[in-house]
Every structure is written in structure tokens, then in C-alpha cells.
A and B are shown apart, each in its own frame.
Chain A
């Protein structure tokens, strides 16, 4: 039974659809695993055993009746980041301000998962409102990295990545505003994809920075991520920024890539993403990965994107500015926390006291930073300049993609650090996203795929692959080819201490 949790989503789907195992027992095996290890990992904020089993039984009923499965992933359970609304199931965004809130509607991603017959095991932990790189900003306590329970699982989607690495779920959904899918994937040796901006609907994704937020698939293999990508992607009239274009054929691309031939593919190494601040083991893992891409037949060239060094500062103006506006909705009037409503305080005072109590330190910092950057007098110097940098970064990508098909870099400059190590130093924390942010600013597609363990500490390293907007399929082709050549990394993770 328990080895069901060790299988990939593709393998599980095959077994379920051929009747070898039921969706219900597959879901139960993962629920059992969660019960066994999540006390230590804390990947989940809420487990919906009943809802998941009900969805699984519906898939089993379809199969017993001879009806074709609702999707290639029907019956394969999944962990959903707690920033996507689930009707009648708690959605907190890792914030006290939404504790106990039961959304009255499903996000489009949630609805598509349900329609595809994917049982939702529960909601995963995250940095509050997706602001952070460690999950330490969750109001409900941090998630722990299965590779070392004393270390961060990445963030903001650390619950999703940890649930995969701890074999609590074969699939997960994350959201990526500046790296919140890719950085957690890198530090847990799992796969995470930020699709092209607009590729996956944002309807029901609680907004942090609307021009950057993008939901995407997470898995233990590139093929699994591709299968999930095709379930959740596609135009949605409920999201005005949803791209009305066909979903790239990412599953075909992953299968093609797995054959291990990258001849004809041009790969660019981003010159700016190395040097000071990068851990030696991360850089050596990256060099090995580049050599493997060459062995697979890819042509590798060095590419310069000089403005990428300005991406981090631009991001920390644009994202806080948008968040200061988006989080104005948490006004204690229509839903969520309300404090001090005792008749002696005005609505404005209740609002201020509620936001003071309901928001954590990082959210407050960013709301104030955004309020400052958007103030008249400072607007041009800060927000206005950041928007110009966004233009320059988009131009750098455009120039690079005239020369190459994909760009590669390390996903993060360092391996997972210790819990508590950077929590009081916002700037040090922000540096984790230095390589991942440009793709958000330009709206490109990007992936992190495991590239082994760093030689000095034995902790996971990720290879980032970046492709032009709407060319998500290139990520999967290159990612799957590299994955096949590199071999599994997560297998090197021993059984969790707690469950020994």
C-alpha cells in the first residue's frame, strides 16, 4: 500500500485507469502518509480527507462503469497551495486575517482540477499572501524541508514542494510571483513550472501582485508537471489577463525530450547569474548540468542580459506597490478577521486595528514599501523607474531569444538555509529570488528541475530553464531530456527521520 506514494503521477494514473489499483486506495495511501509525517513536515494547513476520498470514489465509479477517465490524471491526488480558493474548504493564504474563512466559490484552477477528477488532499502552507522565500512568514508556523527538517523548504510555496519531497502527494499546485514555485522546487529536488503569464487563470488566486502572479504545476518528474500543466492551463473568460491562445503541447514535448536528443536546440547560459553570492556547489552543479546539455546534443552559448541585475530591485518596487493596492481589500468589513468591533471604535479604527493584528511583519513591510513607492513625489524615482527596468528586462530576453531557444541558470544562488537564519534580514531573504524574478517581470515561462546535490552540504540544487512567452513546451523538452540524463535526485533522500 505505502509504495503507492512512491510512484509518479503518470504511473499512478496508468494503474488507476487500468483498474490495477483504485483511486480511493491511492488517495487513502497519501492521506495515511500525511498522517504519518506531516506532524514533522507541516506541509499542510488543512487536510480534506473526506473531499479527496469522495472525488476519488467518483473516479472509481466512472472506471467501473466503463466511462473514459475525465482526464489523464483522473484519480491522482494533489496538494493545493492555500492561495487558491476552494468552495467550502478553508483558504487562509497563510494569514491570520483569513483564519476560518470558507470561500463561497472555486478558483478556476480548483474547478479544472475537480472536473479532471483530481482529488484535492488539502491546502498547503505558504508565506503569508505568498510573500517570502522560506514559509517562515506563514502565520501558522513554517514548513520543514524533508531533506533536513531544520532547513527551509523554499517559499512562498514551501508546503507544496515539501509535500512532494515527503511523498505526501504526487502532484501539487504552486503560484509564482517572483520564484515561489521554482525556488521551493530547487531546494527540495522537485520540479516546478511557472507557465507563461496568462497561461493559467488567476480567477480565485488571491492576488499579491497581479501583473506577476501565475499559478503552475509542481511534481517529482517533468512529465508529471506537464500532465498537470495541461489540466490547469487554458483561456478563461473570468480572468481578463488570461491569454486566448492554444495551450502549448507540453506533454508531447516532455515525451520527446525524454528520448534524450537535444540536437538542434540552442541553449544560452546567462552570464550575469554567477559570481559573488553564489555558493560554489551550486555553480559546480550548474556547470555539470550545462555539460550534460551539450552531451545531449544542445548547442550552448553564453548570453549577456545586462539588465537582469536590476530585476531584483525593480521587483521589490513593483510587487510591493501592487500588493499595497491588492491587500486594501482586507478591510474587516465583508469577510475575514475583524477586531475591536465593540461599539467604541469607528470603521476606520476597526480596519486599522484588524490589519495590525491580522497581517504579519513581511506583509506590513511590503504594504508600507508599496505605499511609499506609489506616493506622489516618489512615484517617478521608484515605481516609475521600476517599470522602465521592466521594459529593459523584456528587451534583454527578446535579444537573447533571437540567439537561443532557451536560457539556463541556477534556480537559486544557494542551497536551503536554516530556519531562522534570514528571517530578520529582509534583504538577505530577497536575494533568493535573484535568478527567478526576470521571467516574472517579462511574463516568460520558466522551470526548475533538480540538478543534483551541492558537493559541500549534500543539499538540493535546481537548474532553471527559461523560454519565451507561449513557448512553455521548450521547457519541458529540455527539462525532460536533462532529467533523463541526470537521473533521479529525490531518490537520494532517505526516509524521514520521524517516520523511521
Chain B
């Protein structure tokens, strides 16, 4: 039985903001199906009575002292920007014409 269809892979790619090609969809659908088959094995031992572990070190609300210290300058923060304008990141159009 197939875990994941080609259409589902296309949907995942869309959710993950990756414009995958038709050829990639074929390859990934087969591979993801195989991988999901293998990893589904976790269900064999994951009983209701077992609490989940999200992190090896149980820590909550770790703070450091609230002290003023130097951060990146505006120029440093923009130094890797694909495009910058007037001290800001310049990005492509976000809203459509009708919005």
C-alpha cells in the first residue's frame, strides 16, 4: 500500500515553498513512500502510556541577564541581503494587485 501519492508530494512541496519539478515529484513520491514505510515502525512501541520526549535536556524558561550589549549594526545586518534599499531589506511584491 502506498503511503503517499504524487499529488500529496506536490502539496507538501507547496507547503514547504519549494517549486519542485515534475521529474522530482516522481522521484520523491517513490522515495518518500519507502522512507515512510520504514519509519512507521515507531508505531510498534509507542504506547499510550509512554510520555513523549522533545528534548534531551529538560529545560524551561532559560534567561540570561537583561544587560545592554552591542548587537549587529544596520550595515552588518544588511550585509548579506540579496537587495537592500534605504537601510531596509528590499523584497519582491508581497500583495497581489487586487489586494
Please give me the residue from chain A that is nearest to B78 by CB atom: A334
Please give me the residue from chain B that is nearest to A390 by CB atom: B53
Please give me the residue from chain A that is nearest to B72 by CB atom: A104
Give bound CA distance, A353 to B92, whole Å.
Answer: 13
Report if B16 contacts A (CB, 8 A): yes
Given A237-B64, A332-B82, A367-B16, A385:B46 Cβ within 8 A: yes
Please give me the residue from chain A that is nearest to B61 by CB atom: A240
Q: Are B42 and A310 in contact (CB under 8 A)?
A: yes
Q: Which of A307, A426, A443 contacts B31 (CB 8 A)?
A: A426
Q: Are B34 and A102 in contact (CB under 8 A)?
A: no
Q: Give, as a whole number of angstroms, the nearest-CB distance from A294 to chain B.
A: 31
- Given the complex, which residues of B lie within 8 Å of A324, measured CB to CB? 16
Q: Give, as a whole number of angstroms, the nearest-CB distance from B32 to chain A.
A: 6
Q: Which of B18, B36, B52 has the most C-beta atoms of chain A within 10 angstroms of its own C-beta? A: B18
Q: Which of B31, B43, B64 contacts A365 (CB 8 A)?
A: B31
Given A310-B42, A386-B42, A441:B56 Cβ within 8 A: yes
Q: Which of B16, B18, B34, B46 contacts A427 (CB 8 A)?
A: B34
- Given the complex, which residues of A lie within 8 Å of B24, measured CB to CB? 361, 364
Q: Are A368 and B16 in contact (CB under 8 A)?
A: yes
Report if B62 contacts A (CB, 8 A): yes
Given A316-B39, A341-B83, A352-B18, A365:B32 Cβ within 8 A: yes
Quick one: which of A72-111 are within 8 Å of B by CB? 101-105
Q: Are B42 and A314 in contact (CB under 8 A)?
A: yes
Q: Which of B15, B44, B57, B80 contacts A241 (CB 8 A)?
A: B57
Give bound CA distance, A352 to B91, whole Å.
Answer: 14
Report if B40 contacts A (CB, 8 A): yes
Report if A355 contacts B (CB, 8 A): yes
Give bound CA distance, A352 to B18, whole Å.
Answer: 4
Q: Are A364 and B46 in contact (CB under 8 A)?
A: no
- Given the complex, which residues of A lie within 8 Å of B83, measured CB to CB? 338, 341
- Given the complex, which residues of B lie within 8 Å of A105, measured CB to CB? 72, 76
Give bound CA distance, A241 to B62, whole Å.
Answer: 8
Q: Are B92 and A241 in contact (CB under 8 A)?
A: no
Quick one: which of A177-212 are within 8 Å of B by CB? 197-198, 211
Segment of A4-12, A342-350, A415-423, A448-456 in the binding face: A342-350
Report if B2 contacts A (CB, 8 A): no
- Given the complex, which residues of B lie within 8 Å of A390, measured CB to CB? 52-54
- Given the complex, which residues of A lie within 8 Å of B42, measured CB to CB? 310, 313-314, 317, 382, 385-386, 388-389
Quick one: which of B72-99 are within 8 Å of A by CB? 72, 76-77, 79-83, 89, 91-94, 96
Q: Are A346 and B80 in contact (CB under 8 A)?
A: no
Q: Give, as a whole number of angstroms, the nearest-CB distance from A198 to chain B.
A: 5
Report if B68 contacts A (CB, 8 A): no
Give bound CA distance, A293 to B28, whole Å.
Answer: 45
Q: Give, as a whole number of angstroms, the nearest-CB distance from A310 to chain B.
A: 6
Report if B59 contacts A (CB, 8 A): yes
Give bound CA distance, A101 to B80, whole Å.
Answer: 6
- Given the complex, which residues of B lie within 8 Å of A394, measured CB to CB? 53, 56
Q: Which of B9, B24, B35, B36 has the most C-beta atoms of chain A within 10 angstroms of its own C-beta? A: B35
Q: Are B57 and A387 in contact (CB under 8 A)?
A: no
Please give me the residue from chain A that is nearest to B37 by CB atom: A427
Give bound CA distance, A369 to B52, whole Å.
Answer: 20
- Given the complex, which residues of A lie within 8 Å of B34, measured CB to CB? 426-427
Q: Are B39 and A355 in contact (CB under 8 A)?
A: no
- Given the complex, which residues of B lie within 8 Å of A356, measured CB to CB? 18-21
Give bound CA distance, A317 to B50, whole Å.
Answer: 17
Q: Are B18 and A367 in contact (CB under 8 A)?
A: yes
Q: Which of B53, B55, B64, B82 contacts A338 (CB 8 A)?
A: B82
Please give me the residue from chain B that is nearest to A439 by CB atom: B56
Give bound CA distance, A349 to B96, whole Å.
Answer: 12
17 A-B contact pairs sorted by A residue (CB < 8 Å): A240-B59, A310-B44, A316-B35, A317-B42, A334-B89, A341-B83, A341-B92, A345-B92, A347-B91, A365-B35, A371-B12, A372-B4, A372-B12, A385-B46, A388-B51, A390-B53, A426-B31
Pick the 8 closest A-B CB pairs, nearest first: A443-B56, A335-B80, A387-B52, A338-B82, A385-B46, A237-B64, A388-B46, A104-B76
